[in-house]
Amino acid sequence: MSVDTKPNIDWDSLGFNVTETKSMFRATCALDGQWSGGDLIPYGDITLSPFAGVLNYGQGVFEGVKAFRSAKGNVVLFRTDMNGKRMAFSTRRICMPEMDPDFFVKAVIKTVKDNIDFIPPYGRGSLYVRPIVWGTSAILGVSPTPEYTFMVIVSPVGPYFKGGIKPLNLKVNTNYHRAAPKGIGNAKAIGNYSASLFPLMEAKAEGFDENIYLDAKEEKFVEELGSANLFLYKDGLLKTPALNGSILGGITRHSVCQVASDLLGITVEETEITVDDLLSADEVFCTGTAVVVTPVGLITHKGETREISQNQMGPIAKKIRETLVGIQREEIEDPFGWVIPVK
């Protein structure tokens, strides 16, 4: 697509797929260096050595961010500073040059501004932003690669669920683990997602939407889905698995906890949750950048299926979602300063 060409997009037909945009941001850094510089380049394919560290040893981390057109007519981001801080942790954990959160946010804003024509109209989708870092240079021995590339790529996307939100049908997976204690489950590393693909395809072949994974040590406590955090509500308490080193600390997860406690007056507990706790809950829902807040309607464990909240979105999940989305889209006041304007 020419950089001067306005996009011709049917906004109402947008799915959660890749659409070619105008530009992308690229910067490079040595292993012992600091992130700086970088610039926008035309969107397109990249060249990579077949011996690149990311291809051979999986040295790569990424983030997921959304830009919206708000109810006030602004273009806004949501808590992108938190994504930058998480990428700083992830890069450090995977032995890459540590990301500077301020550099991260500026690169995201620069990319969004240059692709502003690709942001769907208010209420009809968002611009999905994918900041990613990978080991670039060729390397044969098992060690950190000397050079790294940081890119910010974007694509307009429609609602994650076409035709409205549908409760998920989940399976408690007792055959596979997503992550293990003292591993990299708490980093947003590319390998964590490839590890969940085979169990996901098995679950989908059996008619499920996703897996619920248990802790790898005792196989007793619920952790998360392959790409989302998990919550349950019962007897006035909202519970989510405590961050134990193998669970990714989701930005949406953190936001839900704060919205529930500070705005809705709901007591929130970050604690150990058993499968029995989950199956006896009044409501269960998952959270993430893509799914936002999505209810769970059916949970199957060892061949037995339990219906949650009559296989519908419960009132607590509904209120939390409405409040969170309202803040993101400037439909209601943002008391936390989470919304970042793109100027």
Query: pLDDT tens, 243-282?
Result: 999 999 999 999 999 999 999 999 999 999 999 999 999 9
Which residue in 188, 204, 234, 318 is the catalytic one?
Answer: 188
Q: What is the pLDDT of residue 160?
A: 73
User: Which DSSP helix (H) or strand (E) runs through 223?
Assistant: strand 222-225
**pLDDT of 74-129, one tens digit each?**
999 999 999 999 999 999 999 999 999 999 999 999 999 999 999 999 999 999 99
Distance CA 310, CA 298 (A): 9
Q: What is the pLDDT of residue 343?
A: 76
Q: How many CA atoms lie within 13 A of 151 on its CB side?
A: 15
- pLDDT over 90 percentage in the chain: 92
**pLDDT of 141-168, one tens digit each?**
999 999 999 999 999 998 776 667 899 9
Q: What is the pLDDT of residue 2?
A: 47
Q: What is the pLDDT of the chain when averaged over all its residues?
A: 95
Q: What is the pLDDT of residue 164?
A: 74
The pairing of strands 237-241 and 292-301 is: unpaired
Write down all domains in the chain, each with its CATH number in brackets: 11-157 (3.30.470.10), 168-328 (3.20.10.10)
Q: What is the pLDDT of residue 225?
A: 96
Residues 6+ apart with CB under 8 A from 52: 134, 135, 136, 137, 138, 139, 145
**pLDDT of 285-337, one tens digit each?**
999 998 999 999 999 999 999 999 999 999 999 999 999 999 999 999 999 99
Q: Residue for token digits 């950190």?
A: 144
Is 188 known to be catalytic? Answer: yes
Nearest in space to 106 (alpha carbons), one of 168, 57, 152, 158? 152
Residues 109, 110, 112, 114, Cα dihedral to 10° = 160
What phi and psi values does residue 172 have, to the nearest 5 degrees?
A: -75, 115
Chain centroid to CA 261: how far?
22
Q: How many CA atoms lie within 13 A of 89 on its CB side?
A: 15
In three-state secondary structure terms, 33 is coil
Nearest in space to 67 (alpha carbons), one of 120, 3, 26? 120
Read off the pLDDT band of 4 (50, 70, 90). Answer: low
Q: Residue for token digits 């930005």?
A: 251
